[in-house]
Amino acid sequence: MCGIVAYIGDKKAFPIILKGLKRLEYRGYDSAGIAVNNGTELNLYKKAGKVVELEKFAKDKDTSGNVGIGHTRWATHGKPNDVNAHPHASGNSKFALVHNGIIENYAVLKEELEKRGHIFKSETDTEVLMHLIEDIISKQNCDLFEGTRQALNEVIGAYAIVVISEDNPNEIIAAKKSSPLVIGVGIDEFFIGSDATPIIEYTKNVIYLEDGEIAKLSLTSGLTLKTIQNVEKTPYIQELEMKIETLEKGGYDHFMLKEIFEQPRSIQDCMRGRLMLHQNYISLGGIEAYQDKIFAAKRLIIIACGTSWHAGIVGEYLLEELARIPVEVEYASEFRYRNPIIDENDIVIAISQSGETADTLAAIELAKSKGATIIGICNVVNSTIARATDCGAYTHAGPEIGVASTKAFTAQVTVLTLISLLFGKNKGVIEPARFTRLMHELNAIPSKVEEVLKSDAYIKSIAEIYKDAPNALFLGRGINFPVALEGALKLKEISYIHAEGYPAAEMKHGPIALIDEEMPVYVIATQDASYEKVVSNIQEVKARKGKVIAIVTKGDKVVKNIADHVIEIPKTDDMLVPLLATIPFQLLSYHVAVMRACNVDQPRNLAKSVTVE
Ligand code: F6R
């Protein structure tokens, strides 16, 4: 994780970096720091806590200077305190460095440097890299670019780094491997960010650094780009499509709430130009080009983590039902370490909102090394995972800033629905009438989501009743089982309530023992193929005095008579229920978390992009 921001130009660097760090806080928020060169010396300010703590701390200090680097951290090596916060200075205080990633061989490097007299202040791997660069510069009398380049050749691991020096306020050095880094190119100024969000309000022209590249951004000589093997590269400048409004809260109290309410539009955006209702046709050009290979494969393997993994399980139901393609869904973190049986005939679908998740990326690399074809479903355009795949479909949900994933999930499920329909049709395994009906149903989903969102105040009143219950069960069957998993994850991660998602029928094999009058049980009980069975499961909960909060199809009478509360959602095709049933759970967790005074957008211990194993 961690967010990096840097600036060099004719403006004051500190406020630009500070604002950028606030934008990147979703990546990590346990400490923050900024180093600026005021023309004669480097001033370095670091503070444990959120960026606002750093802002307060630096208020009366000298923050002048037109070049600087900043960092917001999610701790890996070392506790989240002031000392371990970035930037890290060299031993002679002439250089400062920020880093996102992990230097795996830091212990060996540190031992060697200590033998040569280097003294370390922090417990971080980053400080080791800073000293290594300093060591090379002093031994070889080379400049910062060369010293950094050589140091990176000794490093094993992942990094996005930015380095500045006291003696040369006219340049910044940036490099990356496996962690993202974007350079914004302005007129006589450069910006750097872990993603484009800190850059977008200044320039739309950006360069996404590739792995193994190192750049010098100089106010005198412009931009130099090389590989760390010293091969010259030509920078490829592209134009950002992101809009600044998507990065603001837009009147909502939290990004999470804004993102929940954006879903009618984000689902619509995801379908735009793909669901061609009048032509009765689905267009997913990138993926269709690989169709023959996909149809020839024995199975599809979906890899993902967290919420994206839940979307993957919904995808399994969709692909098997609509396209009759066998699917296996794997946690990327498990897949990568179990020597999976996979070869060049296999197709892997990797799902990731951020496009940066280290486990998913490593699983992709493993599958690629065995010759598999990789399809990506990513939200962040140009992200590492998006670029590591052979083909794919963006979810187009727009920036998701709340750490708990909401609109990205429904967009992922939408893409998986489109893929399933496309394959089902092209394979000839879905009846034409069913295909057409599903196309119409899918097209109606945004307005049905709008309708579900109208229950917000009612869902808030349910949250008020159950906000203090220490545990919760979420139950669903079939394609709604992963919705139950997702509901439980949402509640856990933002309100710190212990929650478990279970297939409703499995309850009797264990979790039923947990049920008493204190236990809220959230059940998806919509009128679909397993409706009667789920009604029986609800009866089992009620017989043990559990409290049932059921999501039902509009107009349902049966469940209304037995459940403590029902939340109605509009009728849709069974295969599309997850797109609606997930919304009440998002709202419920949101309200519970707010009532419990939890930090909804930045829950404790979490970060949006998990770029470590
Ligand atoms: C939960 C959540 C996480 C992510 C997971 C994968 O709300 O956001 O569980 O889903 O870390 O992240 P991506 O999708 O970026 O690969």
For 450-467, what is each residue's pLDDT tens digit? Answer: 999 999 999 999 999 999
Confidence of residue 611 (pLDDT cuts 50, 70, 90): low
* The 3-state secondary structure of 24-70, one letter per residue: HHHHCCCEEEEEEECCCCEEEEEEECCHHHHHHHHCCCCCCCCEEEE
Report the pLDDT value the prediction gives residue 467, as an integer from 0 to 100: 96
Q: What is the pTM of this model?
A: 0.84
Residue 564: phi, psi to the nearest 5? -75, -35
Strand 95-103 relative to strand 471-476: parallel, antiparallel, unpaired? unpaired
Centroid of chain to Cα 491: 18
For residues 284 and 295, what is the distance between their CA atoms, to the nearest angstrom?
15
**Segment 331-351 mean pLDDT:** 93
For residues 354 and 399, what is the distance between their CA atoms, to the nearest angstrom?
9
| Residue of 27, 255, 307 to mutate, ligand 1, most atoms within 8 A of C-beta | 307
87, 100 Cβ separation under 8 angstroms: no
Helices 125-140 and 106-115 pack at an angle, to 10 degrees, of: 50
| Residue of 1, 74, 302, 305 to mutate, ligand 1, most atoms within 8 A of C-beta | 305
410, 393 Cβ separation under 8 angstroms: no
Report the pLDDT value the prediction gives residue 293, as an integer from 0 to 100: 94
Q: How far apart are the first and last CA of the chain?
A: 10
Report the pLDDT value the prediction gives residue 56, as an integer from 0 to 100: 96
Check whether 341 has a pLDDT greater than 80.
Answer: yes
The Å distance, Cα 367 to ligand 1 centre, comes to 20
Confidence of residue 613 (pLDDT cuts 50, 70, 90): low
The Å distance, Cα 412 to ligand 1 centre, comes to 12
Q: Which atom of ligand 1 is nearest to the CA of 406?
A: 7
611, 385 Cβ separation under 8 angstroms: no
Report residue 481 as tokens.
């089982």
Question: CB-based contacts of 343: which residues, under 8 Å, 6+ apart?
Answer: 370, 371, 372
The Å distance, Cα 406 to ligand 1 centre, comes to 10
Q: Which atom of ligand 1 is nearest to the CA of 310?
A: 10
Whether the ω angle into residue 87 lies within 30 degrees of 0, i.e. cis, is: yes
**Segment 221-235 mean pLDDT:** 96
Helix (H, G, I), strand (E, B) or coil at 346: coil
User: With left for phi above 0 and alpha for psi between -120 and 50, is residue 465 left, alpha or beta?
Assistant: alpha
The protein residue whose alpha carbon is closest to atom 5 in ligand 1 is 306
The Å distance, Cα 7 to ligand 1 centre, comes to 29
Q: How many CA atoms lie within 13 A of 37 on its CB side?
A: 27
For residues 321 and 517, what is the distance between their CA atoms, to the nearest angstrom?
38
The Å distance, Cα 216 to ligand 1 centre, comes to 33
Strand 327-331 relative to strand 300-304: parallel, antiparallel, unpaired? parallel
Centroid of chain to Cα 261: 19
Catalytically annotated residues: 2, 608
Question: CB-based contacts of 150: which residues, under 8 Å, 6+ apart?
Answer: 136, 140, 142
Report residue 605 as tokens.
């211990």
State which amino acid sits at residue 602. Q
For 542-592, what is each residue's pLDDT tens digit? Answer: 988 999 999 999 999 999 999 999 999 999 999 999 999 999 999 999 999
Q: Which atom of ligand 1 is nearest to the CA of 490?
A: 7
Q: Which domains does the chain have, with CATH numbers?
A: 3-246 (3.60.20.10), 249-449 (3.40.50.10490), 454-613 (3.40.50.10490)
Buried b (16+ CB within 10 A) or exposed e, 163-201: bbbbebbebbbbbbbbbbbbbbbbeebbbbbbbbbbbbe
DSSP string spanning 586-608? Answer: HHHHHHHHHHTT--SSS-TT--S
| Residue of 194, 260, 303, 308 to mutate, ligand 1, most atoms within 8 A of C-beta | 308
Report the pLDDT value the prediction gives residue 612, as an integer from 0 to 100: 64
Pocket of ligand 1 (CB under 6 A): 305-308, 352-354, 357, 360, 404-405, 489, 493, 609-610
The protein residue whose alpha carbon is closest to atom 3 in ligand 1 is 306
The Å distance, Cα 307 to ligand 1 centre, comes to 5
